[in-house]
Amino acid sequence: MRGSTMPDIGARNEMVVLQAIRLGEDGIAQAEVMRRSGLSRQAVSQIVRRLIDRGLVETDGTRSNGRGKPSTVLRIVPRAMLAAGVHLDPAQVTVVIVDLLARVVAQRSLGLPASSPEADVRRIGDAVADMLGQLRAEGFAAADGGDVAGAVAGLGIAAPAGLDSARGILLDPPWLPTWRHVPIVAQLEAATGLRVVLDKDTNAALTAESWAGSVPGDETVLYIYVGAGVGSAVAGDGTVHRGSTTQAGEIGHLPTGLDGPVCACGRRACLGLYTDASALLARARELELLPCAPGIAVACTAPAAAAAVTGHAVGEERVADALADLVRLAMAGNAAAREIIAGHGRALGEALRTLIGVHDPHRIIIGGPYWGLLAELALPELRERALDGAGREHGVLIESSRLGDDVGAIGAASLFLERELSPARR
């Protein structure tokens, strides 16, 4: 706990207890919470009492493990608190409402971002109102019996960097050219009447993993997000490390050490040259594996190096389709197509070898909107390269996310819940 203050410790303990109860599949005995949290009987019972007073946790009889006296069984009250989550991605805007177990209770896919931020803010506001109407019709109510809107604590929005999380502003997210210097938090607060927090998509995705129970709370976890570009996030002891300006994990220009072209940043063989969706497609078109189609984000004549750093939002939906075409070609046995996707895994594996040395993680989780397409063909090379060093010795686990395409939106909502439930923030 070096460098921690007392409220940090209190906040952390309460989150640890809440997390243990949340992850107890069929309720959890208070004695088991003590064991998992490593906290004293007195500390656990004080925290549990506070959580029960707030309506977040309820008791459900007692359970005996055969030794000692039976212990009180604790459960989360899932509907005690809901949160909305928005994922602003160049390929898709997704809005969800989740319960306290980060389970999706309502979802809307809004497709590509609109032509202006104002139009998207309106669409997001309408989607939230529409989902609340749906929940009302399904009989959802707040824990106190009041209207379901009263149960929604707030809204989290996840977006690509660069952004200013503290000021709630999108600065210059790549592939979203109209979203420059947009005060998204203030705009969404006005449109929804909810409190809003903003964070990076990678941080949100990692938060979703920890809320969904994929990440043991005491592990150091490295998350790799594969979307239009590639990004990373790191968490230790259940806390995502955001850096001084929330921009930690921008790994697109991490040199891979491969024998590759010079990047626009001046260095050689940067990760993004092999992993950006636009770079994969540019390479496929150079080799005439895919047709040149007007309107697709990558100019047919652009060398892969230039395309990787100038890719933009136009035709993102077609980028996803074109990527799926490339994968189909590779699956059907086309060697050149297989090599492009294997190259993605190889480069990411080299980058991970470096990142394993930097972060010393227990576990690496790879997800994001395009990973599902690429995983089968990219993962073998990735694993081999990544573990070619300390990673194998340390037994680093490398796995694909199980959360699917809504991970960013679920994570954004989880970010809000996490912030709301952390005593240090109250």
- Can residue 212 be called a binding residue for Zn ion (CB under 5 A)? no
Element (H, E) at 48: helix 41-53
Q: Which residue lies nearer to Zn ion by CB, 184 or 270?
A: 270
Rounded Cα gap, residues 226 and 275, in angstroms? 8
What's the min distance (Å) between Cβ of 299 and Zn ion?
19
Phi/psi region, residue 125 (left: phi>0; alpha: psi -120 to 50; beta: rest), is alpha
Give kind and range of the element (H or E) at residue 156. Answer: strand 152-159
Asked if 229 and 276 touch (Cβ cutoff 8 Å), the reply is yes
52, 60 in Cβ contact below 8 A? no
Interaction between residue 268 and Zn ion (CB under 5 A):
no
Say whether residue 31 binds Zn ion (CB under 5 A).
no
Cα separation, 45 vs 39, in Å, equals: 10
270 binds Zn ion, rule: CB under 5 A: yes
Distance in angstroms between the alpha carbons of the first and the last residue of the chain: 21
Nearest CA among 344, 389, 388, 350 for reference residue 368: 344
Q: Does 263 bind Zn ion (CB under 5 A)?
A: yes
With a CB cutoff of 8 Å and minimum separation 6, the contacts of 175 are 90, 160, 228, 229, 311, 312, 313, 316
* Least spacing, CB of residue 306 vs Zn ion, in Å: 12
What are the Cα distances from residue 298, in Å, to 169, 288, 291, 305, 316? 28, 14, 11, 11, 10
Shortest distance (Å) from residue 162 CB to Zn ion: 16
Q: Give the count of residues interacting with Zn ion (CB under 5 A).
A: 4
**What is the distance between the alpha carbons of residues 72 and 74, in angstroms, rounded to a whole number?**
6
Listed ranges 4-12, 174-182, 219-227, 265-273: which one lies at the site for Zn ion (CB under 5 A): 265-273
Find where tokens 């669409």 sit.
123
At which residue do the structure tokens 């136009």 appear? 314
Q: Does 230 bind Zn ion (CB under 5 A)?
A: no
Q: For residue 262, state whether it binds Zn ion (rule: CB under 5 A).
A: no
State the minimum distance, in angstroms, from the CB of residue 92 to Zn ion: 26
Binding segment for Zn ion (CB under 5 A), chosen from 140-148, 215-223, 268-276, 417-425, is 268-276
Q: Which stretch binds Zn ion (CB under 5 A): 35-43, 112-120, 267-275, 414-422?
A: 267-275
Which span (233-241, 258-266, 346-354, 357-365) binds Zn ion, by CB under 5 A? 258-266
Stretch that binds Zn ion, among 174-182, 222-230, 261-269, 413-421 (CB under 5 A): 261-269
Minimum CB–partner distance for residue 19 and Zn ion (Å): 38
Identify which of 320, 234, 310 has the alpha carbon closest to the alpha carbon of residue 277.
320
Closer CB to Zn ion, 265 or 331, in the complex? 265
- Work out how close the CB of 350 gets to Zn ion at its nearest, in angstroms, rounded to a whole number: 14
Q: Could you tell me which stretch among 93-101, 205-213, 251-259, 277-285 binds Zn ion (CB under 5 A)?
A: 251-259
Closest approach of Cβ 253 to Zn ion, in Å? Answer: 4
Whole-number CA gyration radius for the chain: 22
* Binder of Zn ion out of 75, 122, 195, 253 (CB under 5 A): 253
Residue 271 as a binder of Zn ion (CB under 5 A): the answer is no
The stretch near Zn ion (CB under 5 A) out of 207-215, 245-253, 333-341, 365-373 is: 245-253
Asked whether the CA dihedral 182, 312, 404, 386 is positive or negative, the reply is: negative
CB of 255 to Zn ion, least distance (A): 8
Q: How far is the CB of 257 from Zn ion (least distance, A)?
A: 13
Q: For residue 202, which of 248, 239, 169 has the smallest C-alpha distance?
A: 248
265 binds Zn ion, rule: CB under 5 A? yes
Length of the chain as a residue count:
426
Which residues of this protein are in contact with Zn ion, per CB under 5 A?
253, 263, 265, 270
